[in-house]
Amino acid sequence: MIVKVKKAKIFVMEENTADLLLTLQKNEIFMATSKLDAKSIDVKEEQDIIVRATNVLEKLSKYMEKKPFFDYFTVPYEQFINEDEKRLNLLSSLENNFDEIVSLKDKIKNLSNELNLLNPFKNMNYITKDLNKTIYVSFIFGFIKETELDSTSNFLKENSAEFEKYELTDLGYPVVIAVDKDNYDVVLEELNKLNFNQINLPSLDVKVIERLDQISELINNYSEKIAYIETELKTNKTNDLELKILIDQLTAKIERMTVGFLKTEETVYIEGYVREDMVDRLHEVVKSVTTEYDLDITDPGANEEVPTATKNNTFVKNHEVITNMYSVPSTNDVDPNPVMSVWYFLIFGIMMGDVGYGLLMVVLLGLFIKLKKPKGTFSQLVHVLYYAGYTSIFAGIIFGSVFGFSVDFISYIGKIFGQDNWKSFSMMDNILTMLILSIGIGVLHLTSGLVLKVKVSLKHNDILTALADGFSWIFILVGGSIAVIFATLVKVNILMYIGLGFVAIGFIFILALAGREKKGAFSKVASGLGGLYNSANYLSDLLSYSRILALALSSAVIAETMNTLAALVQGNFVGIIFSVLIYLIGHTFNFAMGMLSAYVHDSRLQYIEFFGKFYEGGGTEFMPLKFDTKHINEITY
């Protein structure tokens, strides 16, 4: 149900503001009305730390053991709120570690490139730095292709150039060519024509072979440093946990910092909303921070946009996610969730309608809820599907279906009670009956929506709307159903006439009241006749419930088809293996598509047909200040 909210002003001394906000966040009962834009306040430091910690956490994940899927991270409250300087130091230390790893890897890369460059010249007995000091001779380093060796050798001899070649490589023969400085440009130009590959060797103080040993040693040293740092990252199991606490801690801090408060000469005060049934609790919470306070509780203004707070049991509370995906109730509405949740629960189960699929929903989602403990909106949605597993099992028992196989559960149950004529309801053999049942569900569903329409109208003391738009169509739907049932299925004329009488009363209400806001007799009559046109809309709405039959039937047909295909290949051992694959793939697909289709079409029936009869929506959800953690699953107190 929708709970009234009160406007609250909390007055405290300025030095108590931080503690008050933290305590309000912990208790999750107060929704602040004034929220500052994060850009308008100084939270840059906190945001920068969050970004840094998130980046380091991502890098760190490569070195940590993979967390179990059902890992559940809890943190004691005192540890969560404690702004420990060690976490910031840890963040800086880890950043330095990763920076050092990057730097060392860059050095290794550069050294490896130098190693590859020098290695072909490892047998060269010259020191390149000395060669650069010669006055009359220039030295050219490079590679002569094996196919060009003879022609290049002849050319160099003709130009009085000396060269020394070393072991053949993929690029050709590495060579050192000594040429007169005056003839350097001419020789180099001709060498290029002979596909000579010139390179520049670094100026070294030692021979190439000695430099190669130095490079190898440096690479080994740098690699050992990297290995040591990475080992430290892997062995420290608490690094990622501390960073996760830091991120969620600062996120919660920013949330508190964005709460706007006003100042008087001696105090500050925070404005917001509190549920009417939590006013006393709010007093206790504020008093736990300071005894020097004042709490002003008033009713919201007449035209004030007030957040909508609901109070429901766990079953209904989880189904609120379905309504909120459409629109949050406004304070002018009645809470649709107590009624909607029951219908969603029942219709989803009928659409799935299989004991096997229902058991999978209950077992798999039940384990997921127990072990993973999802949070927030996702948790609500998982619970909705988990609940629907039970109605899927119940509907599967009625339909006698287990993964598409026919099992007459009702017959077995009948024998327990000494009844030999009880049988499961086969949709395949009773499609018309199933269609009638689907339409019957539609009548009841729409009627419950109209009852809520009456309740909303009476809440606003609008009796005429309750009669014209609520009771009128209730009489028509219920009366029409009674008339059809007792005229066709169970022929009792008196009850048929009573049903027609209800229909007549409904039409009279519409004719008399549909034009109640119009002026002039003609306008009122025209509006009354126009109101009767809604009969076509209601007929369309009722036909929409045929989707219950369509989805239940399609799921059953696909399951049965998969079973038939699997049976066809079971002629030998190999066939049995293939049949198992068909069972697994086919039923996994059918199960997934069945759940998705049931979720979508069940939601549509609530949004269009059910909500369309009474629901206004457009409200703002009551969202109290709280710890909205990303990494921490639970804060223990």
Q: Kindly state the DSSP code that residue 180 receives in the 8-state scheme.
A: E
| Mean local confidence (pLDDT), 502-510 | 85
Q: How many folded domains does the chain comprise?
A: 3
Residues 325 and 286 in one domain: no
Helix (H) or strand (E) holding 579: helix 573-604
Each residue of 232-259: pLDDT tens digit? 988 888 888 999 999 999 999 989 888 8
| Mean local confidence (pLDDT), 105-116 | 95
| Mean local confidence (pLDDT), 109-130 | 92
pLDDT band at 511 (very low <50, low <70, confident <90, very high): confident
Determine the pLDDT at residue 527.
Answer: 61
Residues 574 and 533 in one domain: yes
Residues 596 and 459 in one domain: yes
pLDDT band at 410 (very low <50, low <70, confident <90, very high): confident
Count of beta carbons in the 10 Å neighbourhood of residue 472: 25
| Mean local confidence (pLDDT), 421-442 | 88
Structural domain contains residue 626: no
- Cα(516)–Cα(525) distance, integer angstroms: 10
- Cα(197)–Cα(93) distance, integer angstroms: 47
Least confident of 265-269, 448-452, 528-532, 586-590: 528-532
Helix (H) or strand (E) holding 635: strand 634-636
Residues 323 and 281 in one domain: no
Residues 253 and 191 in one domain: no
Strands 74-76 and 634-636, by their bridges, are parallel
pLDDT band at 532 (very low <50, low <70, confident <90, very high): low
Q: Give the whole-number percent of the chain exceeding pLDDT 70.
A: 96
What residues contact residue 597 under an 8 Å CB cut-off, 6+ apart? 351, 551, 554, 555
Structural domain contains residue 622: no
Structural domain contains residue 157: yes
Determine the pLDDT at residue 249.
Answer: 93
Q: Which has more confidence, 462 or 264?
A: 462
Structural domain contains residue 335: yes
270 Cα distance to chain centroid: 33
Q: Which has more confidence, 537 or 322?
A: 322
Determine the pLDDT at residue 623.
Answer: 92
Token pair 């740092």 is found at 229
Residues 250 and 199 in one domain: no
Structural domain contains residue 113: no
Residues 327 and 430 in one domain: yes
| End-of-domain residue from the set 246, 273, 298 | 298
The DSSP-derived string for 360-419 is HHHHHHHHHHHHH---HHHHHHHHHHHHHHHHHHHHHHHHTEETTEE--HHHHHHHHTT-
pLDDT band at 550 (very low <50, low <70, confident <90, very high): very high
The answer to whether 375 and 358 are in contact (CB under 8 A) is no
- For 11, phi and psi rounded to 5 degrees? -105, 125
Give the domain CATH number at 14. 3.30.70
- Count of residues making up the chain: 637
- Cα(618)–Cα(306) distance, integer angstroms: 11
- Cα(298)–Cα(295) distance, integer angstroms: 10
For 172: left if phi > 0, alpha if psi spans -120 to 50, otherwise beta; the answer is left
| Mean local confidence (pLDDT), 606-629 | 92
- Judged against a pLDDT cut of 60, whether residue 37 lies above it is answered with no
297, β-bridge pairs: 8
- Cα(35)–Cα(40) distance, integer angstroms: 11
Determine the pLDDT at residue 352.
Answer: 93
- For 162, phi and psi rounded to 5 degrees? -95, 150
Residues 322 and 287 in one domain: no
pLDDT band at 497 (very low <50, low <70, confident <90, very high): confident
The answer to whether 22 and 627 are in contact (CB under 8 A) is no
Domain of residue 597 covers: 315-613
Residues 287 and 340 in one domain: no
Give the domain CATH number at 181. 3.30.70.2750
Residues 472 and 339 in one domain: yes
- Judged against a pLDDT cut of 80, whether residue 36 lies above it is answered with no
Determine the pLDDT at residue 591.
Answer: 94
pTM for the full predicted model: 0.82
Structural domain contains residue 304: no
Count of beta carbons in the 10 Å neighbourhood of residue 109: 11
What residues contact residue 223 under an 8 Å CB cut-off, 6+ apart? 108
| End-of-domain residue from the set 206, 223, 254 | 206
Each residue of 558-590: pLDDT tens digit? 999 998 988 888 878 888 888 899 999 999 999
Determine the pLDDT at residue 343.
Answer: 96
Cross-sheet strand order for the sheet of 173-180: 162-165, 173-180, 137-144, 197-199
Residues 290 and 324 in one domain: no
Structural domain contains residue 392: yes
Structural domain contains residue 620: no
Determine the pLDDT at residue 526.
Answer: 61
Average pLDDT, the chain: 89
- Judged against a pLDDT cut of 90, whether residue 350 lies above it is answered with yes
Each residue of 87-99: pLDDT tens digit? 999 999 999 999 9
| End-of-domain residue from the set 206, 224, 258 | 206
Least confident of 124-133, 194-203, 528-537, 552-561: 528-537
Q: Which has more confidence, 76 or 38?
A: 76
Please report, for the chain, how many H helices and E strands are present, in that order. Answer: 23, 15
Q: How far is CA 628 from CA 21, 34, 158, 252, in A?
A: 14, 18, 83, 7
What residues contact residue 93 under an 8 Å CB cut-off, 6+ apart? none
Residues 325 and 261 in one domain: no
